[in-house]
Amino acid sequence: MSTWILNGTTVNLETNAQEKKHLYVEDGVISKIISAAEGLPDTGNAQVIDAEGKLVSAGFIDMHVHLREPGFEYKETIATGAMSAAKGGFTAIACMPNTKPVIGTTEVIASVLAKAEEAGAARVLPYAAITVNQLGRELNDFTALKEAGAIGFTDDGVGVQSAQMMKDAMKLAASMNMPVIAHCEDETLVVGAPVAEGAFAERHGLKGIPNESEAIHVGRDILLAEATGVHYHVCHVSTEQSVRLIRQAKQLGIKVTAEVCPHHLLLADEDIPGLDANWKMNPPLRSRRDVDAMIEALADGTIDMVVTDHAPHSAEEKAKGMQLAPFGIVGFETAFPLLYTKFVVTGQWTLAFLLDKMTAAPANVFGLPWGKLEVGAAADLTIVDLESERQVDPETFVSKGRNTPFTGWNLKGWPTHTLVAGKLVWAE
Ligand SMILES: NC(=O)N[C@@H](CC(=O)O)C(=O)O
Ligand SMILES: [Zn+2]
Ligand SMILES: [Zn+2]
């Protein structure tokens, strides 16, 4: 099976230079990249994809997603989640372990991988839980979980409350050359607050989540990473205090990396229109100052990559209101158009910068073999119509989740084709 992708625009991630090229994909691998100036190749009986006027990029990689299976299939399944990802241009997604049962045994890892294979959409890379049932009391069997295919350890959904537990986890992970990925949240500082501390919480008489509840864990874990030598990766950074700590840690040569979500780059608590739980996620939307700190930190390399934290919930759950609804919003199908429209079209970022944060950067940080458009690389590819423009309509989502704050936003840059290992897994 072979495919020619003709006349697509490619972007050099170092220089932002754009060039029209033809790509030939054979046996799942990019086997030729030729300049379109050389004229059209003989396509023989290969499948042909016309990418004229479109961007051809290495497939997007999302290192933080929730697929909900096993246990919460009414919110999402591995099949619907991996296909929603493919529709958003993602070819590899790393799924969090807060399922039921938790992804914390070799059996659950094996079943997630088998279901992902069956789905035939984006590649699914499972994280395993740090602690048994994510209860923070006892470490999982890291060696067995790594062997079964876990790519890192995290209790995302909750923070690891005990410093000693986190230190033990980091020591063990470091000895196995595996990363620890942390949802940073000190529970003693949160206690039932649904939104960030600040103007919105005050106006609506809600308890507020303070910035320190995140940053205290970031600071603690940076010290533990320094002591243990582990690769420590901070989930969904949202506060200027966390950024300050990560920036300093990087300057000191501590092995810390970090991610940020589109919503924390685009929305502040003051943008929340009312008591609508589609604006409720963890970490919450913070102040404009925090948003500006996220943008600056991504620009200066303090934050390494963009992730969605795709967190589908049912309409019934989200209808419970701001106080009672679960935290989380979907992300796959809006991530690229949002960032392209709000940062690249406006001239704040180059297209190369955005593509790097969604392809090469996550691949480099986690040592993954994807994220580069080059001969010999796996043909994990995303084709995007940068000129296409339409409104976000949750009814068109492939995800079972409709929980997004971006309904009605007019965005440009919608993916049209996604290939994983040379196979077209999604086309508009
Ligand atoms: N981000 C969220 O708001 N929710 C996530 C949990 C998490 O990422 O911590 C979820 O699983 O729903
Ligand atoms: Zn989290
Ligand atoms: Zn998460």
Is 286's pLDDT higher than 90? Answer: yes
How are beta strands 55-58 and 381-391 bridged, if at all? antiparallel
Provide the sign of the torsion angle of the four alpha carbons 198, 204, 208, 209, taken in this order: negative
pLDDT of residue 332: 99
pLDDT of residue 238: 98
Is 360's pLDDT higher than 90? Answer: yes
What does pTM read for this prediction?
A: 0.98
pLDDT of residue 421: 98
CA–CA dist 113, 125 (Å, integer): 8
Is 298's pLDDT higher than 90? Answer: yes
309 lines ligand 1 (CB under 6 A): yes
What is the position in ligand 1's atom list of the atom closest to the CA of 236?
Answer: 8
Q: Which segments of 27-104 are extended strands (E)?
A: 29-35, 47-50, 55-58, 60-65, 90-95
What domains can be seen in the chain, in order of their start residue?
2-56+377-427 (2.30.40.10), 59-366 (3.20.20.140)
CA of 387 to the centre of ligand 1 (A): 32
157 lines ligand 1 (CB under 6 A): yes
| 260-to-235, 301, 426 alpha-carbon distances in Å | 7, 12, 26
Interface predicted TM-score (ipTM) over 0.85: yes
Q: Closest residue (by CA) to atom 7 of ligand 1? A: 157
Please choose from 95, 98, 259 the residue to mutate so as to test ligand 1's pocket, defined by most ligand atoms within 8 A of CB: 98
259 lines ligand 1 (CB under 6 A): no
CA of 98 to the centre of ligand 3 (A): 9
Binned at pLDDT 50, 70 and 90, residue 224 comes out as very high
pLDDT of residue 1: 84
318 lines ligand 1 (CB under 6 A): no
Is 191's pLDDT higher than 90? Answer: no
Q: What is the pLDDT of residues 61-90, one digit of tens each?
A: 999 999 999 999 999 999 999 999 999 999
pLDDT of residue 190: 80
Q: How many residues does the chain have?
A: 428
The residues, ordered by sequence, that sit 6+ positions from 74 with a Cβ below 8 Å of its Cβ are: 314, 400
Q: Phi and psi of 255, rounded to 5°?
A: -80, 75
Q: What is the pLDDT of residues 234-269, one digit of tens each?
A: 999 999 999 999 999 999 999 999 999 999 999 999
pLDDT of residue 53: 98
Q: What is the pLDDT of residues 12-22, one digit of tens each?
A: 999 999 999 99
Q: What is the pLDDT of residues 375-408, one digit of tens each?
A: 999 999 999 999 999 999 999 999 999 999 999 9
Is 210's pLDDT higher than 90? Answer: yes
CA–CA dist 320, 416 (Å, integer): 35
What percent of the chain is predicted at pLDDT more than 70?
Answer: 100
CA of 22 to the centre of ligand 2 (A): 40
Binned at pLDDT 50, 70 and 90, residue 300 comes out as very high
**Annotated catalytic residue: which of 168, 309, 356, 380?**
309
Q: Phi and psi of 286, rounded to 5°?
A: -105, -155
Q: Phi and psi of 386, rounded to 5°?
A: -65, -20
Q: Closest residue (by CA) to atom 3 of ligand 1? A: 328
What is the position in ligand 1's atom list of the atom closest to the CA of 185?
Answer: 9
**Which tokens hold the place of 263?**
């919503």
The residues, ordered by sequence, that sit 6+ positions from 229 with a Cβ below 8 Å of its Cβ are: 174, 255
| 104-to-4, 108, 109, 146, 171 alpha-carbon distances in Å | 41, 7, 7, 11, 18
What is the position in ligand 1's atom list of the atom closest to the CA of 235?
Answer: 8
CA of 327 to the centre of ligand 2 (A): 10
281 lines ligand 1 (CB under 6 A): yes
183 lines ligand 1 (CB under 6 A): yes
| Annotated catalytic residue 309 | yes
